[in-house]
Structure 1
Amino acid sequence: MGVDVGGTKTDVVLTDGSGVVLQRHRVPSGQGNDEVVAAIVAAVARVCSAAGIQIEDVDSIGVGLPGAVVDGVVTHAYNLGVERLDVAATLGAAWGVKPVVDNDVNAAAMGAWMLTGEGSRSMAFLNLGTGLAAGIVLDGKLWRGRRGAAGEIGHITVDPTGPLDAEGMPGAIETYASGSGIVRQWGGTATAEEVLRAATKGDPAAEVIRDRLFFGVASAVRVLVLTLDVDEVVLGGGLTKWGEPLIAGTRAVLDEWQERSAFLASLGLSDRVAVLDSDEPVAAIGAAMMGAGRG
Structure 2
Amino acid sequence: MKLLAVVIPYYKRTFFRECLASLAAQTDQRFTVYIGNDASSENPEDLLKEFEGKFNFVYKKFEENFGRTSLTKHWDRCIEMMEDEEWFMILGDDDCLGQNAIESFYESFHEINESHNVVRFSTQIINDCGTKISKVYQQPESENALRSYQRKLLGQNRSSLSEYIFRILKYKKYGLKNYPLAWSVDDRAVIDFCENKDIFSINRAVVYVRMSASNISSTMAYSNLMQEAILESSRELIFDYKKKMDRAQLRFFIENYENCALIFTKVDRRDLINITKLFLLYMPIKSKIYILKVILSKAFTKV
TM over 0.5: no
Higher relative contact order (CA 8 A, sep 6+): 1
TM-score under structure 2 normalisation?
0.32
Larger radius of gyration: 2
TM-score under structure 1 normalisation?
0.33
